[in-house]
């Protein structure tokens, strides 16, 4: 990614101007360093705010001291360029891996399935911007949520005519999505970056999204046929949508570039719900998974006690025999 050269070439203007970074005067709460986890679980901003404060850099350092070797930051595009660089350099210094940020996410409009020139241009704009963000933060992957299905209804209350009017059949919607994903991949391939497509569940969180199933994501990635278009397998969402987690992971394996965790019901830390995460993580480790597992979930207990419980929950599910 050559992040340091990218910074040297002019992306440090905000930092040089003395712009304040999101690290509260270095108020990192020192803790005795713990053994790294077997897998690269990635907390995100807010997971340790009650313990070390709101400053993201302090939270990253605290995560590192407690054995985490990756970090996820969905909202990174909303941060200043200086902060994006600071996150990247901090992770570099600590030997941690940068997980995903969200490059493009649309949950309500058929921007990929029934796209217009304006919608296509908007997506391409976000993808190009994501290249710069990734270089500043030394990221390799970012999330893309490809909009909704084309579900025109006389009572929907939405101006579906702007997408051409008249509902498209499923096959045409899929073809349109493949075409736009190929265009995005052409932008990303020279930079060796990967957008990861996230299937989401209709039942609890995101009714109407186009991408729901792991096999659907697998077929899309095979059709796009690019190293820059892969699957984000969110274990929480796929437990709700289809279950059968380990067999579906195996079937999709060669197109998966990223995992996310979260228990069901509730979308909280492992051990709070029904998913046997120790067995799932053991399976990933056995298959040789060396990528990131983003902790895209909440915490079942409030305050410092909940944050301590979060760490111990991952210790429990990471305690599998190798």
**What span, in angstroms and rounded, lies between the C-alpha atoms of 296 and 63?**
15
List pLDDT tens digits, range 230-244: 999 999 999 999 999
pLDDT at 121 over 70: yes
Full DSSP string of 119-140: HHHHHHHHHHHHHHHHHHHT--
Percentages (nearest 5) of helix, strand, coil residues in the chain: 45, 10, 40
The per-residue pLDDT for range 146-160, each reduced to its tens digit, is 999 997 643 444 554
Residue 151 pLDDT: 73
What CATH fold (topology level) applies to the domain 3-150+162-317? TIM Barrel (3.20.20)
**Radius of gyration for the alpha carbons in the chain, expressed in angstroms and rounded:** 20
pLDDT of residue 193: 98
Q: How far is CA 86 from CA 32, 42, 62, 66, 107, in A?
A: 24, 17, 16, 20, 30
> How far apart, in whole angstroms, are the C-alpha atoms of residue 13 and residue 247?
49
105, containing H or E segment:
strand 102-106
The two tokens of residue 272 are: 């709070």
| Residue 26, pLDDT above cutoff 50 | no
Higher pLDDT, 12 or 280: 280
Tell me: pLDDT of 47 over 80.
yes
Question: Would strands 292-294 and 97-98 be described as parallel, antiparallel, or unpaired?
Answer: unpaired
Structure letter (DSSP) for residue 74: T
**pLDDT the model gives residue 152:** 62
42 phi/psi in degrees, rounded to 5 = -120, 100
- The helix or strand, by DSSP H or E, that contains position 234, with its residue range, turns out to be strand 229-234
Please calculate the CA angle 224-244-72 and round it to the nearest 5 degrees.
60
Encode pLDDT of 209-265 as tens digits.
Answer: 999 999 999 999 999 999 999 999 999 999 999 999 999 999 999 999 999 999 999
Q: Phi/psi at 128 (nearest 5 deg)?
A: -65, -40
Q: Specify the pTM.
A: 0.88
Q: Is the pLDDT of residue 33 over 80?
A: yes
Q: For 265, list phi and psi in degrees, rounded to 5.
A: -80, 160
Q: Provide the β-strand partners of residue 104.
A: 144
pLDDT tens, position by position, 175-220? 999 999 999 999 999 999 999 999 999 999 999 999 999 999 999 9
Q: 115 phi and psi, to 5 degrees?
A: -85, 150
Provide the mean pLDDT of the chain: 90
Q: Specify the pLDDT at position 32.
A: 77
pLDDT in tens, 90-120: 999 999 999 999 999 999 999 999 988 999 9
C-beta of residue 198 within 8 angstroms of C-beta of residue 153 = no
């Amino acid at each position: 990614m050559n992040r340091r050269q990218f910074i040297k070439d002019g992306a440090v203007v905000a930092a040089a101007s003395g712009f304040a970074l999101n690290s509260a005067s270095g108020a990192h709460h020192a803790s005795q360093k713990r053994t790294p986890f077997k897998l690269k679980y990635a907390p995100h901003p807010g997971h340790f705010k009650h313990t070390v404060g709101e400053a993201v850099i302090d939270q990253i350092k605290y995560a590192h001291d407690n054995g985490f070797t990756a970090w996820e930051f969905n909202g990174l595009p909303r941060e200043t360029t200086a902060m994006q660089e600071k996150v990247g350099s901090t992770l570099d210094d600590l030997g941690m891996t940068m997980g995903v940020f969200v490059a493009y996410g649309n949950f309500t409009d058929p921007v990929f399935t029934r796209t217009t020139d304006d919608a296509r241009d908007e997506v391409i704009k976000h993808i190009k911007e994501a290249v710069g963000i990734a270089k500043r933060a030394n990221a390799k992957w970012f999330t893309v949520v490809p909009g909704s299905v084309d579900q025109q209804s006389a009572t929907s209350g939405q101006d579906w005519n702007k997408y051409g009017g008249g509902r498209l059949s499923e096959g045409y919607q899929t073809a349109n999505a493949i075409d736009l994903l190929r265009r995005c991949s052409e932008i990303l391939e020279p930079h060796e970056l990967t957008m990861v497509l996230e299937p989401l569940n209709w039942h609890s969180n995101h009714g109407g999204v186009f991408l729901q199933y792991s096999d659907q994501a697998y077929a899309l990635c095979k059709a796009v046929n690019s190293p820059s278009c892969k699957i984000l397998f969110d274990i929480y969402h796929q437990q709700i949508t289809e279950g059968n987690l380990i067999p579906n992971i195996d079937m999709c394996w060669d197109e998966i570039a990223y995992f996310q965790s979260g228990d069901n019901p509730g979308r909280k830390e492992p051990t709070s719900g029904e998913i046997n995460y120790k067995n799932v993580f053991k399976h990933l480790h056995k298959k040789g998974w060396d990528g990131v597992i983003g902790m895209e979930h909440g915490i079942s207990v409030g305050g410092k006690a909940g944050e301590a419980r979060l760490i111990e929950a991952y210790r429990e599910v990471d305690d599998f025999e190798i």
